[in-house]
Amino acid sequence: MTVTPVNQPPTLNALANLSILENAGLQTVNLTGITSGASNETQTLTVTASSGNPSLIPNPTVSYTSPNTSGTLTFAPAVLAYGTVNITVTVNDGGTSNNVVSQSFTVTVTPVNQPPTLDPLPDLAILVNAGLQTVNLTGITSGASNEVQTLTVTATSSNPSLIPNPTVIYTSPNTNGEITFTPVPSGFGAATITVTVDDGAASNNIVSRSFTVTVDQPPTISTIANQTIAVDTANFEVPFTIGDAETPASNLTLSVTTSNPALISLIGLVFGGSGNNRTIRMSPLPGQIGTSQITISVISNRTARSSTWKARWIPSRTWRCFTIRSRA
């Protein structure tokens, strides 16, 4: 009796079906039970994998080294793609017959609504009674090129007593829009404005962007009464007061300019005092007469206000100053 050898088919354990979400990212499936099919067969095994729908899931990558009994395959669904696909894994022992075993499993990619988009919005600083403000909205989309949805844009204010809920100007499916708002008269402080885009889906349907609007009360500087000084008067001191609703007076900054340095230079203008009570000491150049505009500005870390003087030497050799107050 002659017993003819027969190649035993290789083995691979069955693979369970898999369900994942759209855009789920890289997936790993473990392969087990990989053998040559018989203990007396020592063959180099090759493992491959193919996809029944490469446009949904490209052919997986196999990680396997013969004669290990286990390995892995990895794959990722195409971006924004969903549906069902069969993945087939094949073990080949290189024989001339009975050399192949295959196991298939199904991957179901469930569609997921992609959240809409809206570009970030920068914070905004305005002055009291600044009037109507317009903020542009950009980057408004449904979140995915394969999603055609009617988008709704709304805006709310965290402090309606300062800034009422803004008015939204937007038409779907435009990528741009705007909101407008006006701070209440004489109001100052801060409000958070939240802009929301809703694509109307049951989940992942909302994106929100927030920004802060700061309404600044400008600093104050008192008017300065007319002054008359004689020629060659040095260190003539004039008092004035400054203040700010949000900033301590000690943190305010003063600056001064002169329109006629030949009459009185910046060196001849020196600030004094502290807190709310300040002074400016003036020393015109010797023997000079004429006119110069001197502007004092008080500056917080947000806004500024200034007071402008016009100084003149008149023929009777006196220097007259009068005050013009201007807003920053």
Q: Domain span at residue 193?
A: 124-216
* 238, pLDDT greater than 50: yes
In a domain, 319, yes or no: yes
Domain match, 92 and 55 both: yes
DSSP letter for each residue of 39-80: TT-----EEEEEES-TTTSPPPEEE--TT-S-EEEEE-PPTT
| CATH number, position 40 | 2.60.40.10
In a domain, 47, yes or no: yes
In a domain, 5, yes or no: no
Domain match, 144 and 207 both: yes
Compute the average pLDDT of residues 50-73. 96
In a domain, 183, yes or no: yes
Among the ranges given (73-77, 134-138, 276-280, 308-312), the one the predictor scored with the smallest mean pLDDT: 308-312
What letter does residue 245 receive in the DSSP assignment?
S
Domain match, 27 and 91 both: yes
Residue 255: its pLDDT value, please?
Answer: 86
Closest listed residue to residue 297, CA positions, set 258, 265, 254: 254
What's the total number of domains in the chain?
3
Residue 327: its pLDDT value, please?
Answer: 34
Residue 51's pLDDT band, with cuts at 50, 70 and 90, is very high
* 328, pLDDT greater than 70: no
Beta-carbon contacts of residue 283 (< 8 Å; ≥ 6 apart): 233, 234, 235, 236, 264, 268, 269, 270
Domain match, 322 and 231 both: yes
| CATH number, position 156 | 2.60.40.3450
Domain match, 239 and 140 both: no
In a domain, 306, yes or no: yes
State whether the Cα torsion 110-116-119-121 is positive or negative.
negative
Terminal Cα distance for the chain, rounded = 114
In a domain, 115, yes or no: no
* Sheet of strand 124-127, all strands in order from the earlier edge strand to the far edge: 124-127, 206-216, 189-198, 152-157
Compute the average pLDDT of residues 137-162. 95
| pLDDT (tens digit per residue) in 77-101 | 999 899 999 999 999 998 888 899 9
| CATH number, position 305 | 2.60.40
**pTM (2 d.p.):** 0.66
Compute the average pLDDT of residues 244-255. 85
Angle, alpha carbons 47-23-15 (nearest 5°):
30
Domain match, 229 and 318 both: yes
